[in-house]
Structure formats: structure tokens, C-alpha cells
Structure 1
Amino acid sequence: MASHARNRMTETGIPRVAMVQGKIPEHELNAVYDPMVNLILRGSKTMTVGDQTLHYNPASYFVMSVDLPAIGTVRPSASGEPYLAVALTLQPAVISALMADLPECADKTRTKTEAGFSVASVTADLMDAWVRMLRLMERPADIPALAPVYEREILYRVLQGPQGSMLRDIAIPDSAIARITLAIQRIRRDFAEPLTVEALAQLAAMSVSAFHRHFKSVTALSPLQYQKQVRLLKARTLLVGGGKSVTSAAFEVGYESPTQFSREYARAFGLPPGRDSEQILAKYAEGVR
């Protein structure tokens, strides 16, 4: 099954399931990640969101319940085998339908807003469900009938684990995470536009203080820090893949001052934008992945 995966997220033919293998370019690991359950099969990964860093390997799995800008680093296994991981993108409608069949899940509520990302230990039951899901890659004719069943089982196992509350919040329309997600979607769509915390709080139907508190609890970032991360990640894509100049990229992502853009870019990625993009393109030219 690993032969299907490349060093970027590769579709498997199974809805919402993708795989990745090998040495992934650093700038592709620095991205806005969609809500997902991520399981490592070989190697290890480090994810940094805001000021929080999480480490996980084949003994653990990662759940992200909201779109988050993060910095990732992957490593091969101790024996030198390439990094290999699989991800299931989370869809609220699927989780909601599962919860409707499991009323006890809806009764478990949290008394406070927690981070929208975490790591937990893999159980034998969860791994077994994943193995049966991935075996469908060898039997594509079975995917329409069995993939939805295995997806529900994977989600069920996560719901029963320590991160189940995050999945429940995704499926409850009026939960804090669901309302914060509305603001996140607005930031991602209009990241280049001036946005105020007041307008985002109104969209989330929260007071400004409550919105700021919940947003930072969920994402480990303030709303404006989140917007800045999205802008810088988009600018990096424009510089590397779009052939934009530093000034053009700065203006396109919403900066009024190229100088400020360069300063914040260097703080985020370790190099000024021009040098950073040149280094990335040089690695591609040399075939370094």
C-alpha cells in the first residue's frame, strides 16, 4: 500500500483518505491543515501550532478539529525506513450522523473550551479499523460499500477515546468550536482584507472578550496572529510556486509595507522572503526532496 504514496498528500481512491511518504519539502509541511485524524505508520512527526509543539509516532495519532496554520517536521524510522502516514479528513455531517446513532456521545459535554488539536495513544481497535480501510486500496470495487463503514468505525474509536470531545464539538452547530470555525473560515477566505476582532466576534455570536478567549484556546493563536500566519503561508506559496516578487507577494496577501512583510516573514521562516524562496527553488533544482 505504501507504493501508492508520494512525498506529498496523495489521494488513495478512498473518499477523504490520503497518504504521504518520504522526505516532504519543509515549505509544504508549513501550511494550513484541514480538520483530520492523522496516523503515522512509519517514522515520526512534530507539529507546532502557535507556541505549542506536539510529537507523535506510530504509537499515537493526531486529531485536528479546526483549520490550523502549523509547522511540521517529519523524520524517518529509527531503521531508516521513510516516513509514512495516512490522514482522514473530518466531515461534520459524517460525525453528526454517527452521533445520531450513538445518543450517549451527545450527552458528554465539556465545561470549558480546549485546544482544537491533540495527540492520543493508538488502540488495537483503532489500528484494526485503519488497516481494513487501507486494504480497500487493493480492492477498489469494495470502496463504495465498505469505506463508509470503516470511516464510521475509525470515527467511533476516536469518539470513544480521550479526543472524542473534539469530534463531538465539530458536529454540534452551536458549540464553541463550531462558532470559532465560522470565524476561521472568514479569515481564510478574506485573509488579505483588514479584519477586526469585533467583526469576527459578531460572526461567532460572542462578546469580544469571550471570542478572543475561545479562539486562542482552540487555535493557540489570537485571531490576528492566525490571519498573519495565513498571509505569510500564502505569500510563501506565491514566491515559490507563483513566481511573484517580494513586493507583489506582500501586497497580494494584504501587507501595506513590504518592509514589515519582510521582517515578519523572516521571523516566521528564518530567512528573508527572497533568500528563502531562492533556497527552496534551488533544492528543487538539485532534486532534494
Structure 2
Amino acid sequence: MKHEMSEADLNLLRLTSPIRSSLAKRVLALIAKHPSDAELLPGVGLHFRDQPLPPTGYFYEPSFAVILQGAKRIKLGDSVFHYDASRFLLTSMNLPTTTEVLGATEDDPYVSVLIKLNLDIAREVLADLELNNYGEICSDSGMATGPATNEMLELVSKTLDLCDYSGNPAYLWGILQREIIYRLLVGPMGARLRQTVLTGTQSNRIAKAINWLKDNFSLPIKVEDLAGKAGMGVSTFHHHFRAMTSMSPLQYQKQLRLHEARRLLLAEQADASTVAFRVGYESSTQFSREYRRQFGQPPIRDMRSIMDMS
């Protein structure tokens, strides 16, 4: 289904076209200059594709991402986000997704920048600048898009400056991270980030349960136990968990298991049965069935398709 942009998004694309074009060229130059696995700054990812990417599992950590060229579709549980160069993506907690890069070509490649957010720094900024009560707090989804204004693109430009800085980028990066987080916290999507960071809020409690799940996804769980870790009743916990992640706690755990299984199959070339048990499945048959439902093909065929594309 084709995504129709609003008039406001179209106007924003026209207004920001020169700076986005310049930034995209800088990203491509940095990618060409450095090895593909090089991390030029901690938590900063520069991405480029000259062909579409079919639905692929991707685990989003708290981050700020901007597409400079192209478009992407992200499936988070029951929700679908379509974002392009007119929008930025804010993720406030750990979320397993399925992503697609749409319509990329050699002449018009997909180019993006992702900056992971340090939530400890976010807490410091909130405390230092007394932003705890700034604006309205919401308990909406842990993922949202906002307008990619010149101000947002300027943050990307400063990040790219440091990626190619010959001095001491680590010191300056610490300062820039605080500016990025400050502008996100006081911006139109800031309520989501503040809600996750602030101790005691519903979203902060859900984030703690999510972090536990992320570290212990292979273990059997009971929703009652997770609710206890979040300090909530089961019904309240289930409601807020679904609001933040667009899925139930058990669906979230399944997503974590399947994404890790796919990573292990690729990285270690282990057999499907071994991987199934490592990620917490008791039945390899159930694993293959759920894997196929998630990724469109059974494990072995999926691996072959990925290898053929690379």
C-alpha cells in the first residue's frame, strides 16, 4: 500500500532538500572512506543501501534516526510506521521490529543516520535543567515519528562533523549527546522520552520489565511475575505494555527469541534445532512454524535466501 504524505510533510521535504542532499553526500563519503563495520562514534550508525531490503528483523534500542534519502516501513507488533526524509524516528525503549527499506536504487540510494540515546545522560539533563514537569506527559507508544526540521538535521550535521574530526571526538561527543537529548526532550516527541526516563512513571516501569525480558528472553515467564517486577497489577501492566510496544508481553518475548535465533543462524551457521533450544523453545517444530510465520520462510530456506542476496 502506497504511503500518502501530508501537505505539511511535502512542504518540509522541499524546504529541507538542500541540507538533506548535502548530508547524504557526506554520509556516503564517510562510508566509502571507512570499513563497513567501523564505529566512527559510539552509538552512531551510518546506513546506505542501493537496493530495497525485504522485511528483516531489527532490534531498535533507544535512539534518534533520520532518513536523508529514501523510505522505510517498520512493523512493531500490530503497528506499522512508514517514515521517510520528512520525518525522524524516536525510539524510547528496546523494541523488536521488522523493517523494510523501500525503493532504493543505485541512482537514488537509501541513506540514513541512527544515533543511540544514552538514557543515563537523559536523566542528568532532566535533573540539571529541571525538565521533569516540562510539557504534557503521555504513555503512548515507545516508537514515534516527528518532523525532520532543519533543527533536527543540524544535529545530524554536527554528528557527522565529529565522525570526521581528527582531534578528540569523544570529549565533544559527550557534549553533543546532551544537546541532542535536550532538543528531543523539549521537542514535539519529547513526552515519550521523558515518560520512559522519569523514575516511577508507568512507561519507566514498563521499560524496566522490557529490559529484564531482553536479558532473560530464553527463560519461561509468567505475566504475573513481570507485572511484579514493574510494580503493577497484571491488568494495568498488560494494558500499558501493549500501549508502549503494540504487543503483549508473551508476543514481545517471542519476537526477541525469533530475532536472536535468526542472528545465531547467520552468525554461527548452527542447525535450526540447536538454535531453537538455545533461544528457549522446547519444540523445534513449534520454532520452525513460528519462524516461518515471522520471516515468511522456514529457517534453512530463509538462510539460503539471505546468502543469495549478499
TM-score between both structures, scaled by the size of structure 2: 0.83
User: What does residue 192 of structure 1 align with?
Assistant: 218
Equivalent residues, number: 282
Distance 1:93 1:86 in 2: 22
Q: Deviations over 1:7-57 (max 9, x none)?
A: x98554323222111258958941221110001111111111011111111
Aligned pairs (5 A) from 1:19-58: 19-23=46-50, 26=53, 29-58=56-85
Q: Is contact 1:11–1:17 with CA below 8 Å preserved after alignment?
A: no
Note the alpha carbon deviations across 1:122-177, whole angstroms, 9 max, x for none.
12222122212211222231524432333222222222222101221232121222
SS of 1:103 mapped into structure 2? coil
Asked if the contact 2:76/2:246 (under 8 Å) is kept, the reply is yes
1:205 to 231, 246, 251: 231
Counterpart in 1 of 2:129? 102
The structural deviation recorded for 1:182 is 1.5
Farther-moved stretch of structure 1 (260-269 vs 131-140): 131-140
Aligned amino acid, residue 200 of structure 2: D
| Map of 1:233 onto structure 2 | 259
| Contact 1:113/1:176, CA 8 A, preserved across alignment | yes
Task: Rate the CA distance shift 1:9–1:65 in 2: closer, same or farther, 3 A.
Answer: farther
In 1, the alpha carbon distance for the partners of 2:191 and 2:158 equals: 25
Residues 147 and 240 from structure 1, CA distance in 2 versus in 1: closer, same or farther, beyond 3 angstroms? closer
Per the alignment, residue 3 of structure 2 pairs with none
In structure 2, distance between residues paired with 1:25 and 1:227? 28
Q: Which residue, 112, 119, 122 being the options, matches 2:148?
A: 122
Structure 1 residues 57 and 11, CA, compared in 2 at 3 Å: closer, same or farther? farther
The one-letter code matched in structure 2 to 1:256 is: E
> TM-score, length-normalised on structure 1?
0.89
Residues 275 and 79 of structure 1, relative CA distance in 2, 3 Å threshold: closer
Shift of 1:269: 0.8
Q: Matches of 2:272 and 2:51 in 1, distance apart?
A: 24
Residues 1:86 and 2:100 aligned together: no
Letter in 2 for 1:214: H
Provide the secondary structure at the position in 2 that maps to 1:106: coil
Deviations 1:50-101 (A, max 9, x none): 1111111121100010100101111356893221111111111211222223
Q: Partner residue of 2:165?
A: 139
The two structures, once aligned, show a CA RMSD in angstroms of 2.4
Q: Which residue of 2 aligns with 1:162?
A: 188
Q: 1:21 to 1:197 in 2, by over 3 A?
A: same
The answer on whether the counterparts of 2:52 and 2:103 sit within 8 Å (CA) in structure 1 is: no
Structure 1: stretches of 5+ with no match in the other structure = 285-289
1:201-280 correspondence runs (5 A): 201-280=227-306
Distance in 2 separating the partners of 1:222 and 1:199: 14
Distance 1:9 1:119 in 2: 27
How far has the Cα of 1:221 moved from its partner? 0.8
The answer to whether the 8 Å contact 1:113/1:214 transfers is yes
The answer as to whether partners of 1:35 and 1:66 remain within 8 angstroms in 2 is yes
| Identity value in percent | 34
